[in-house]
Structure 1
Amino acid sequence: MTDIKGIEPTVPPTGTGCTDCDAVGGWWFHLRRCAQCGHVGCCDSSPAQHATAHWKATGHPLVQSFEPGEGWFWDYDANEMYESGPRLAPPGEHPADQPVPGPADRVPEDWTRRLHR
């Protein structure tokens, strides 16, 4: 346990991709990991915006980037970014060989036009 509300560092991520996109055969641009329950969801640029939907459904306010080489956190409640925070249970990022956007076999050819800006 940690003294930061909304962070549970012992909980592992739910997978290597967006849990909700995987369930329906969707695709994502970048991934975010809930710092409280480990739910991996897609970012707000992704078509389905599952990380934000998870926050709205659960009230879990903090996510961490699940992209290789990134360690920043986003606080939905405060609408604020933090460059770093507590180390969460591994893995801290999706596999380096997993393409962005991904997964490769589900990304449409016109994917750049489908991103939210």
Structure 2
Amino acid sequence: MTGDHAIDPAVPPTGAGCADCDAVGGWWFHLRRCAQCGHIGCCDSSPGQHATAHFEATGHPVVRSYEPGEDWFWDYATNELYESGPDLAPPVSHPADQPSPGPAGRVPSDWAKALRR
């Protein structure tokens, strides 16, 4: 992965969902956690693509899946997937009862048509 400075295992996640989507009443498909600052953003299949936007705005290159049962990392700087990496501060995923896509109550019934491919 891109240099050690790209991951701070002690930093907790910023919340249970994508704060950028929450700010505008949006929804997400899957969530990603910045391994450097803990920012939670939505994946590139989500309408907002906020995890990538966070990388572009901050230069923080490494994210970890924020989905229950997933522990892979992605490095935007090198476009590489890592099956595992260092343990990060808990929680390691959004709450198990939070639906995907989510959050509950904001996902349109035709959500699959809005996914980016």
Normalization by structure 2: what TM-score? 0.96
The one-letter amino acid of 1:40's match is I
The one-letter amino acid of 1:29's match is F
* Secondary structure in 2 matching 1:105: coil
User: How far apart in 2 are the matches of 1:53 and 1:43?
Assistant: 10
Kindly report structure 1 stretches of 4+ aligned residues shifted beyond 3 Å.
none
User: How far apart in 1 are the matches of 2:89 and 2:29?
Assistant: 23
User: How far apart in 1 are the matches of 2:48 and 2:23?
Assistant: 12
The one-letter amino acid of 2:103's match is P
State the aligned residue count: 115
Equivalence for 2:110: 110
Q: Which runs of 5+ in 2 are unaligned?
A: none
User: How far apart in 2 are the matches of 1:23 and 1:44?
Assistant: 18
User: How far apart in 2 are the matches of 1:5 and 1:85?
Assistant: 14
**Kindly, what percent of the aligned residue pairs are identical?**
75
Equivalence for 2:67: 67
User: How far apart in 1 are the matches of 2:61 and 2:53?
Assistant: 11
CA RMSD of the aligned region, Å? 0.8
Equivalence for 1:29: 29
